[in-house]
Amino acid sequence: EAGVTQFPSHSVIEKGQTVTLRCDPISGHDNLYWYRRVMGKEIKFLLHFVKESKQDESGMPNNRFLAERTGGTYSTLKVQPAELEDSGVYFCASSQVFGGSGYTFGSGTRLTVV
Amino acid sequence: AQSVTQLGSHVSVSEGALVLLRCNYSSSVPPYLFWYVQYPNQGLQLLLKYTSAATLVKGINGFEAEFKKSETSFHLTKPSAHMSDAAEYFCAVSEYGATNKLIFGTGTLLAVQP
């Protein structure tokens, strides 16, 4: 089966610009997660979708971040306007069930804001 | 609140030597614990998971980890390191609740010397 796909793999934008990251989960996986790793820090949870509904968005840093999952398939994460501290690697993951099964992660999008 | 501590941000071993990566967790309830690996330019890959069954968990690529409740530890080991094991390793605990999100440690970068 195809894995979790993220694109772009890299993005370099200027401060104040808008960037949209996309994640295509494994087909049939209702749960979709976004995580972020800022350089030198731990990987942190951003939000969780169950199908098209936001189950938990407690990790979203601020209202410059907007995540959507229209139709319960792919998801987008928009950063508008981007700030320098938004630089990092954004990971998407999906899972079919809860309960300690672990997720399948994508390769991540490396975002650099200059 | 649950948390994970990985001791040693960088570990270097010789090829053929024992690999020991340390992880301690904090959880008020029996945890689900995971080890993930990130090879260069790739996504996070699940190495192994503990979900309250056997305390010694075997994973892929010859890795294993032992859950020790009395020590609140979940250290990752491999008897003999290969050059291909060079990567970054992350310990994580799954938070209970509707989200089942992962809380990660800061990661350990493993270098394998010839």
The 10s digit of each residue's pLDDT in B52-94 is 778 899 999 999 999 999 999 999 999 999 999 999 999 999 8
Nearest to A102 among B49, B99, B104 (CB): B49
Averaged pLDDT of chain A: 92
pLDDT exceeds 90 at position A97: no
Q: Determine, for residues A105 and B51 on separate chains, whether the beta-carbon distance falls below 8 Å.
A: no
Please state whether beta strands B87-94 and B73-78 pair in parallel, antiparallel, or not at all (unpaired). Answer: unpaired
Bin B41: left if φ > 0, else alpha if -120 < ψ < 50, else beta: left
pLDDT at residue B2 in the model = 82
Nearest CA to B67 out of B24, B7, B19 is that of B24
Q: Beta B44-50 vs B32-38: how paired, if at all?
A: antiparallel
Question: Residues A71, A65: contact at Cβ < 8 Å?
Answer: no
**Cβ <8 Å between B49 and A103:** no
- Residues making up chain B, counted from first to last: 114
For A107, the closest chain B residue by CA position comes to B43
Interface size between A and B, measured as CB pairs under 8 A: 62
DSSP state of B62: G
Using pLDDT thresholds of 50, 70 and 90, give the confidence band for residue A98.
low
Residue B60, helix vs strand vs coil: helix
Instruction: Assess whether the previous peptide bond of B30 is cis (omega < 30° from 0).
Output: no
Q: Mind telling me how many Å the CA of B46 is from chain A's nearest CA?
A: 7
* CA B68 to each of CA B3, B54, B65, B76: distance values in angstroms, whole numbers, following the listed order: 16, 11, 10, 12
Tell me which DSSP letter residue B10 carries.
E
pLDDT tens per residue, range B12-63: 999 999 999 999 999 877 788 999 999 988 889 999 998 877 889 999 999 9
Helix H or strand E encompassing B78 = strand B73-78
Q: Which of B34, B24, B50, B28 is nearest to B93 (CA)?
A: B34
Q: Which residues contact B31 (CB under 8 A, 6 or more apart)?
A: B2, B25, B50, B93, B94
Strand partners, B104: B92
